[in-house]
Amino acid sequence: MAGVAVAPVLLLLLLAVAGLPAAGGLGVNWGTMASHQLPPSTVVRMLQDNGIKKVKLFDADAEPLGALAGSGIEVMVAIPNKMLDMMTDYDTAREWVHKNVSAYNFGGGVNIRYVAVGNEPFLSSLNGTFLNVTLPALQNIQKALDEAGVGDTVKATVPLNADVYQSPKDNPVPSAGRFRPEISGLMTEIVQFLNQSGAPFTVNIYPYLSLYGNDDFPLDFAFFDGASSPVVDGNIQYTNVFDANFDTLVSALTAAGVGGLPVIVGEVGWPTDGEKHATAAYAQRFYTGLFRKLASNAGTPLRPNQYIEIYLFSLIDEDVKSVDPGYFERHWGVMRYDGQPKYAMDPTGQGRNTALVGARGVEYLPRVWCVLNANAGNMSRLADNVGYACSNADCTSLSLGSTCNGMDPAGNASYAFNAYFQVQDQDEQACGFDGLAVRTRQDPSTGTCNFTIQLETTSAAAGRPTVLLTTALLALVLAAMVTML
């Protein structure tokens, strides 16, 4: 499927003919937590080739912003959670706006429309770390935007996880949605401020996570093609978790006195590896239904007949993301690490069997792999070396239910060695492993498992981010080595 491509001009024509609001409303999240990144200019051209008009960033890094200059693409820049405390000082907030918003506000500059103040700062797992700083930071950033003369067109918002609202256990329906009791007062202040400033509420909704770790969750309810057991809420029947989740938020907003507050879905998507439900087939099924829904302007039962503005999560796989939430975290991209599409995907929602346009002019390292040396005599150090490789490279595709799970111990070892070899830019010394590895020009990939050739970049391997995996995955990989010792 990745080999099927539509010429950029033709794809844009199809979008225009279909009249899909996504041509102006569909956005993507552009994350950069990768050991080898595509040049920002390549990514921007890929966005343009696919008619993507909006992009959400996770910081305000100068390189992506420089590449976006003159593109016309609407941009949401971001202030990371670790900087929220700093933004409670107004002078600091004003300087941030001057450097990261006003500096790009010129003809041919960057079309910044939103500033994301933090990213899911009220997650339950963060134990209240940012409860006291998020609202003051939000207020200061919007005030600084207003003072800079851009507040009418650039709005400050806070991307929040869907765990900030819920329905009670004794009445688990969307119409009973309320903000979490322990943050209800704070959330009411925030949404009322957003309403006053003209900014939208930004929420991240993940139907996939409803399935992850919950074998009792009905599989079909995570998608958009009908559910065998819909959730009945009065006269409404909910057939998918996205609508139910969205309307739970709408009810919470109504209870807070701002029922008409615009809502942006800041992140929504489906991963393709790292867990049994994280597959390309499920991702394709999810997006097919999502795009069909968007194209119909169906809205949700509590907000019918309207287009929902969304940002897909995410554009490209990121191999150094934390796997604390799960091994799937590195595989959310609709594109592979090299900007090539993973599966057929039709953003028009018209059911066309087309693929997104992949990145052009991608440069790769030579077609050389590092694999287990079958002629190595002493294998006593194999487990240690595999453990070292997987502690410094991405081995999540070896986890249970993943694309490379099920290979024999030799295949596991080869995958781990090659992952490390590629992260280290194919440095000759990175394929040593106490004599247990050897370089080869014969592709060791299998039908389902891709042995990566990394991108050619200008960054030195010494400067690569560390790619740490959890003890659980290391134990899983190492257990398969026992039969070879």
Q: CA dist 427 to 363, 366, 469, Å?
A: 17, 11, 22
Structure-derived torsion over alpha carbons of residues 231, 257, 266, 184, reported in degrees to the nearest 10? -80
Q: Which two tokens stand for residue 263?
A: 């809502």
> Cβ(334)–Cβ(356) under 8 Å?
yes
Q: Are residues 193 and 71 in the same domain?
A: yes
Residues 363-389 have a mean pLDDT of 95
Q: Are residues 381 and 328 in the same domain?
A: no
DSSP conformational letter for 230: P
Full-model pTM: 0.92
**Residue 465 pLDDT:** 54
Q: Are residues 295 and 433 in the same domain?
A: no
Q: Are residues 295 and 436 in the same domain?
A: no
> Cβ(34)–Cβ(337) under 8 Å?
yes
**Residue 147 pLDDT:** 98
Beta-strand ranges (E) seen in 412-459 are 437-440
DSSP secondary structure string, 3-29? T----HHHHHHHHHHHT-THHHHEEEE
Q: Out of 5-9, 35-39, 66-70, pick the least confident.
A: 5-9
pLDDT of residue 18 exceeding 50: no
Q: Are residues 65 and 139 in the same domain?
A: yes
> Cβ(247)–Cβ(255) under 8 Å?
no
Flag whether 108 is in a domain: yes
Residues 320-340 have a mean pLDDT of 97
Q: Are residues 164 and 295 in the same domain?
A: yes
Residues 13-20 have a mean pLDDT of 38
* Half-sphere exposure of residue 55: CA atoms within 13 angstroms, side-chain side: 30
State percent of the chain over pLDDT 70: 89
Q: Are residues 324 and 417 in the same domain?
A: no
**Residue 448 pLDDT:** 94
Residues 418-426 have a mean pLDDT of 98
SS (H, E, C) 74-120: EEEEEECHHHCCHHHCHHHHHHHHHHHCHHHCCCCCCEEEEEEECCC
Q: Are residues 45 and 117 in the same domain?
A: yes
Q: Which of 256, 176, 165 shows the shortest CA–CA distance to 205?
A: 165
Flag whether 202 is in a domain: yes
Flag whether 315 is in a domain: yes
pLDDT of residue 53 exceeding 60: yes
Q: Are residues 227 and 170 in the same domain?
A: yes
Residues with Cβ within 8 Å of residue 364, at least 6 apart in sequence: 338, 453, 454, 455, 456
pLDDT of residue 87 exceeding 60: yes
pLDDT of residue 140 exceeding 70: yes
Distance CA 6, CA 14 (A): 10
> Residue 421 — pLDDT band, cuts 50, 70, 90?
very high
What is the domain count for the chain?
2
Q: CA dist 189 to 135, 184, 253, 368, 445, Å?
A: 8, 9, 11, 57, 54
Q: Are residues 431 and 317 in the same domain?
A: no
pLDDT of residue 14 exceeding 50: no
Q: The CATH number of the domain where 251 resides is what?
A: 3.20.20.80
Flag whether 470 is in a domain: no
Instruction: Cite the active site residues.
Output: 120, 267
Flag whether 116 is in a domain: yes
Q: Which domain does 191 fall in, by range?
A: 26-335
The radius of gyration of the chain's CA atoms, rounded to the nearest angstrom, is: 23
**Residue 351 pLDDT:** 82
Q: Are residues 273 and 402 in the same domain?
A: no
pLDDT, one tens digit per residue, over 243-277 is 999 999 999 999 999 999 999 999 999 999 999 99
Q: CA dist 76 to 3, 51, 98, 101, 146, Å?
A: 31, 17, 16, 10, 17
pLDDT of residue 463 exceeding 90: no
**Residue 457 pLDDT:** 86
How would you classify the pairing of strands 74-79 and 54-56?
A: parallel
Flag whether 125 is in a domain: yes
**Residue 466 pLDDT:** 55
pLDDT, one tens digit per residue, over 213-243 is 899 999 999 999 988 889 999 999 999 999 9
pLDDT, one tens digit per residue, over 157-169 is 999 999 999 999 9
**Residue 228 pLDDT:** 85
**Residue 227 pLDDT:** 81
Exposed e or buried b for every residue in 307-336, given b needs 16+ CB within 10 A? bbbbbbbbbbbbbbbebeebbbbbbbbbbb
pLDDT, one tens digit per residue, over 58-86 is 999 999 999 999 999 999 999 999 999 99
- End-to-end Cα, the chain, rounded Å: 40
Q: Are residues 260 and 398 in the same domain?
A: no
Distance from chain centroid for Cα 314: 3
Flag whether 254 is in a domain: yes
300 φ, ψ (degrees, to nearest 5):
-125, 165
> Residue 475 — pLDDT band, cuts 50, 70, 90?
low
Residues 463-479 have a mean pLDDT of 57
pLDDT of residue 17 exceeding 90: no
Flag whether 481 is in a domain: no
Distance CA 473, CA 465 (A): 19
> Residue 11 — pLDDT band, cuts 50, 70, 90?
very low
Report the mean per-residue pLDDT for the chain: 91
pLDDT of residue 9 exceeding 70: no
